[in-house]
Structure 1
Amino acid sequence: MTTSSTPSALGTGQARPRLHELTITDVRTPGEYASGHLPGAVNLPLDQVNGGLPEIRQAAERGDLLVGCASGARSENARKLLAERGVTVASLTGGTGARAAAGHELDRPAVCATRATWGLCRVWNDQGFSHWPTRTLHDAGDDSGSGPFQRGLARGRLDRLFTSPHAARAFAELMTGIDPA
Structure 2
Amino acid sequence: MVVLWDRPSFVDWKPMVFRTCGLWVVMPWTSGTRRRSTPGSTLKRPRYVFLVAGTVGGIHANSTRPADFLYDNLMIHSTVVQAAHRTGVDKLLYLGSSCIYPRHADQPITEEALLTGPLEPTNEGYALAKIAGIKLCETYRRQYGDDFISAMPTNLYGPGDNFDLWGVVTCCRP
Q: Same fold (TM over 0.5)?
A: no
If each structure's helix is expressed as a fraction of its own residues, which one has the higher value? 1
Q: TM-score, normalised by structure 2?
A: 0.28
If each structure's strand is expressed as a fraction of its own residues, which one has the higher value? 2
